[in-house]
Amino acid sequence: MNVKNTVVWKFARAATLALLGTGCGLDAAPTQPLSPLSPLSPPTAELCAVPYDAVPWALTAADVGSRGLERVAARVKVASPCEAASRDPDSALKLAPEEVARLRDEDRAWLAPDGERYEAMLVLADGTAFGRKGAAPDAPIPSDANRFGAWEGSMPTDAQVTEAIARLERGEGDGVLGEAPPRRHTRGILGDSLADDRRARVTSTTTLTSYPYRTIGALNGTSSAGFTGCTGTRVGPRHVITAAHCVLSETGTWTTSGWFHPGQTNATHPNAGGTAVSWSGVYARDWRVDGRYDYALLYLQDRANSTALGWMGMEWFNSSSYEGKYVSLYGFPSKTGTSDTRRCQASALSNKNCDGWMYGHGDFLDADAYRSDEQLEYDIDTGPAQSGSSVWRNNNVLAVHWGCAAFGGCDGSGRNRAARVRQSMWNDVCGWIGEVDSAFGSHALCP
């Protein structure tokens, strides 16, 4: 955005807030939740350097169960739609850990009036925020008996779809595979060069509309397909899990609404409804405390054709059981970029920009995958904007990918890392799912 547009944008936004008294924005105190029928109208798109669309509804305090929550007294900073759409979430991971810790400690919103730090926070679109002290209550344990909480949706599946999924898992068809290099432990997200990238580009609409791939979507600030800022996965009727750093900046500014694009192509939405699904309101842990807390839950607009896509379950193992398990990581990397870590070897474009399609890669976990700090480590290729992608097997999320290349350099190992699902994380997520109901379905374990 140029200087002139910035000035116009700030003036227009300040005037709007002054007239409407909404209390929405970076410097405003929390106010009463917005009515879902009359959300604050944003400035026109011409004032923003990137495309964005205002979300047409807002999750309010009346929609939330508020179990174990208290109203946050300190001001919560909320990004405007343009600011949220312009933000590069992965840039936060480039800061030194000491700087991240300093910014975290300066963020007073996470402190309760008695000085105790909130363990998790729910922030609504207008900046109304609620904090939870202490650990979440124990949730029912996912198992084979309850299908780990997963639901395949109401879409029919035929032999052609089944075969397409099997072919993709074997690395056959549905995109162009780069040459597979030997296992390596290199610095950076991908490897030594773009030629090391082993991700497949998923172009088959049969695959993109099949379960579980249709539960994976791009996250951005516009209803148009083809753009991506992070990736998320459906884990409930109207619930998407992603990385917390995708919605909470290093300085404590929240992105509280946006758009989810399940199984998008670079130009279309092939899944039911044919459109993106808007989201409003976010429940998250503070990733600035530690990478094991880099996970958040977004609340989708309640739509029957969205719920019908189904959702993945969640599971975890003891330390020795991870070795040898084959896991997948599919997501939507940055559409454009100049460095190798921001491009895709399997892209059909001559410049190898990732072009808005789904890309993915799978691998067997080794003996070092399980980490005692409640994270998972692996040699699966990823790139910027794949933050928030699920690491999954058998339709169940095992971890939420947050990256590697910065944030302490993953201890210099050059491997990728994720917040590993475990009992305490499942307690969080299941409780968060139960906070906001859907009229079109319910989670078997998290009502």
Instruction: Give 349-394 pLDDT, tens digit per residue.
Output: 888 888 889 999 999 999 999 999 999 999 888 888 899 999 999 9
Quote the tokens at residue 179: 């040459």
Burial of 427 (0-12, 13-18, 19+ CB in 10 A): middle
Provide the whole-model pTM: 0.82
Count each helix (H run) and each strand (E run) in the chain, helices first.
7, 19
Single out the residue of 81, 415, 394, 77 nearest to residue 252, CA to CA: 77
pLDDT confidence of residue 332: 92
3-state secondary structure of 341: helix
Using alpha carbons, list the distances in angstroms from residue 307 to 122, 213, 301.
22, 14, 10
pLDDT confidence of residue 432: 98
Question: Which residues have a Cβ under 8 Å from the Cβ of 138 and sit 6 or more positions away?
Answer: 423, 427
pLDDT confidence of residue 338: 66
Please, are residues 369 and 427 in contact by the beta-carbon 8 Å criterion?
A: no
pLDDT confidence of residue 336: 67
Return phi, psi of residue 330, to 5°: -120, 140
Which residue stretches of the chain have pLDDT < 70? 1-46, 155-192, 336-338, 405-414
Q: What whole-number distance in Å separates Cα of residue 322 and Cα of residue 294? A: 20
CATH 2.40.10.10 fits domain 158-219+311-422: yes
pLDDT confidence of residue 281: 98
pLDDT confidence of residue 335: 74
Q: What whole-number distance in Å separates Cα of residue 307 and Cα of residue 234? A: 9
Quote the tokens at residue 371: 């980490």
Return phi, psi of residue 439, to 5°: -80, -5
Quote the tokens at residue 384: 């910027």
pLDDT single digits (tens) 295-334: 999 999 999 999 999 999 999 998 889 999 999 999 999 8
Domain residue extents for the chain: 158-219+311-422
pLDDT confidence of residue 204: 92
Q: What whole-number distance in Å separates Cα of residue 389 and Cα of residue 289? A: 20
Single out the residue of 215, 203, 245, 272 nearest to residue 397, CA to CA: 215
